[in-house]
Amino acid sequence: MAVSVPPAERERPSWLDGPVLSWLTTVDHKRIGILYIVSAFLFFLAGGVMALLMRIQLMQANQDFITKDAYNALFTMHGTIMIFLFIVPVLAGFGNYLVPLMIGARDMAFPRLNAMSYWVYVAGGLVLLGSFFADGGPAKSGWYAYPPISWQYPGNGQDLWILGIHLTTIASIAGAINFIVTIHNMRAPGMTWMRIPLFVWTIETYAVLLILALPTVSAALTLLLLDRQAGTGFFLPQEGGSAVLYQHMFWFFGHPEVYIMILPAFGMISEVIPVFARKPIFGYKAIAFATIGIAFAGMLVWAHHMFTVGLPVWLNGFFAVASFAVAIPTGVKILNWLATLWRGHLEYRAPLLFALGLIGFFTIGGLSGIVLATFPVDYQAHDSYYVVAHMHYVLFGGTAFGLFAGTYYWFPKITGRMYDERLAKWHFWLILIGFNMTFFFQHLVGLLGMPRRVYTYSRTGSFELYNLLSTIGTWVMTIALLIFVFNMIRSWRNGPRVGPDPWRADTLEWYADSPPAPHNFDSLPPVTSPRPLRDLRFRLKAQR
């Protein structure tokens, strides 16, 4: 193809080409992707420091390391930051970087809208972080902000929190529309729906879920803001409103949000495993349809967050069965990944190690999800540390392990350099130990009776010991993450240079240079299967 530098780019004034301004004004999906990934990771570090402070406070019974209100602010902001400022945007970052390359497109469908999404997200992040300086401190009513407690807190932290979430929501919806239009309209010739990489399938599903789920939380938070500032009483029983209504609205968004956060990580390891097993993915269609199946069933399970609200038993029963139903397509995925490993030639580079970690640990989170979906059992486990353990096995054991797999896998593509394998393996083993140490014992302390969101506790014995082990686990994870950061920075500067396709991979992004040119591709190989690059290698071999 004869696509060279397009005229628009040539006419840019030269002062926009400097090292800083060129990034601030970029509309290139790859640069926006990198901006997303790096910003999200910085927010991840901020949220991680908050977790460390909370764990120090909980290390022993009756501690006074931080104040009560500070603790309540920390768990609120830790959850908010990890969900709205880290996981969802970092996935948008990988999606931005990879989707056009994977489908053989030049950019996203709406590059300027794409840049707007990113900057609105940054604005939302700054509002949320800035709320630490608000009158009365940041929000203190949890990432789910149930009224009346979120209505009751004085000060402006909660209002800024609502503004921050609104901004990230606008960013995510605009980004989701962009993904959908791009995937539907800009696929290379031959790239049919059954040939797009599985990661693209998961980004498509991620985007559809965002559009379905986010408007509900926007509505709920707008009504909450009106209750706080305009004296309405939508969620206040004393004014004729309903506190439970908010819970329904929040979780109608909040549960699909979980699948928004996990499915693209599944997509990442669905790319990684075949390449490092030297096999095609087992059951491409099954995995693609399982993705859609999880998304569909995932829209119908929201009230399993509300089993103890006192809903009618038959309604609890419905949501329990719907939650069981999610386990079926999820199990299909896990078994398909295992079948892809079967008789493969497994090469234990960091991307595969983290992908295997996802299979091993997400499985634990999925199975504890079955325990929680059994609603009478949930009466004991709900809002206890058992749930904290469950969701961290899903979001850390699942999403974060998938993200690490993806980061190491695409690092050579994004930077043109290879990371340090030895350090990456240290990272893997230390995070494996630290993660399990932190969260495994939380299952036990939860069933012993430790509720979530408590700044302290007075029980001792094994109750206190589990908390201590959990705290020590966070320190091991900290060391692992420092190794990761060091590896990333050093390798980005000095790692050995690599060619377009260091992994002998399957998908189109590996046909572009590493890092890709601004216009991505000079030409594209024909796409006749989900693995155009392998096809190309075979054709070239046959010609030799």
Touching other proteins, residues 53-82 (CB under 8 A)? 68-69, 72
Coil, helix or strand for 118?
helix
Query: Judged by CB under 8 A, does residue 438 bind other proteins?
Result: no
- Interaction of residue 409 with other proteins, rule CB under 8 A: no
Q: Per rule CB under 8 A, is residue 510 in the interface with other proteins?
A: no
Opening angle at CA 305, ends 299 and 310, nearest 5: 120
CB of 508 to other proteins, least distance (A): 19
Instruction: Please pick, from the candidates 419, 439, 457, 511, the single residue that binds other proteins as defined by CB under 8 A.
Output: 457
Per-residue binding string, other proteins, 284-323, x by CB under 8 A, is xxx---------------------xxx--x---x--xx--
142, 190, 500, 515: residue in contact with other proteins (rule CB under 8 A): 142
Q: Is 443 one of the binding residues for other proteins (CB under 8 A)?
A: yes
Distance CA 224, CA 236 (A): 10
In the bound state with other proteins, the residue whose beta carbon lies nearer, of 133 and 379, is: 379
Please tell me whether residue 417 adopts helix, strand or coil conformation.
Answer: strand
Closest contact distance (angstroms) between CB of 161 and other proteins is 15
User: Binding residues for other proteins, how many (CB under 8 A)?
Assistant: 96
Q: What's the CA gap between 53 and 82, in Å, rounded?
A: 15
CA distance linking residue 291 with residue 205, whole number of Å: 7
Among 25, 152, 229, 528, binds other proteins (CB under 8 A): 152
Reply yes or no: is the peptide bond before residue 148 cis, omega within 30 of 0.
Answer: yes
Per-residue mark of binding to other proteins, 251-290 (x: CB under 8 A): --------------------------xxxxxxxxxx----
**384 bridge partner residues:** 451
Enumerate residues 213-242 that contact other proteins by CB under 8 A.
Answer: 236-238, 241-242
C-alpha–C-alpha distance, residues 528 and 192, integer Å: 9
Q: Is 112 in the site for other proteins (CB under 8 A)?
A: no
- Residues linked to residue 517 through DSSP beta bridges, in sequence order: 520
Tokens linked to 117: 């999404």
Q: How far apart are CA 489 and CA 167, in angstroms?
A: 30
**In the complex, minimum distance from the CB of residue 283 to other proteins, in angstroms, rounded to a whole number:** 4
517: left (phi over 0), alpha (psi -120 to 50) or beta: beta
Q: Does 348 bind other proteins (CB under 8 A)?
A: yes
Select 346 or 489, whichever has its Cβ closest to other proteins: 346
Q: Please, which residue, 10 or 285, has the CB nearer to other proteins?
A: 285
Q: Which residues contact 227 (CB under 8 A, 6 or more apart)?
A: 147, 151, 233, 234, 235, 236, 241
Window contacting other proteins (CB under 8 A); options: 184-192, 207-215, 263-271, 441-449: 441-449
Phi first, then psi, for residue 417 (nearest 5°) are -130, 160
| 88 near other proteins, rule: CB under 8 A | no
**Which residues 465-494 are close enough to bind other proteins by CB under 8 A?**
466
Instruction: Determine which residue in the list 30, 382, 390, 427 makes contact with other proteins, applying CB under 8 A.
Output: 382
Residues 78 and 45 sit within 8 Å (Cβ to Cβ): no
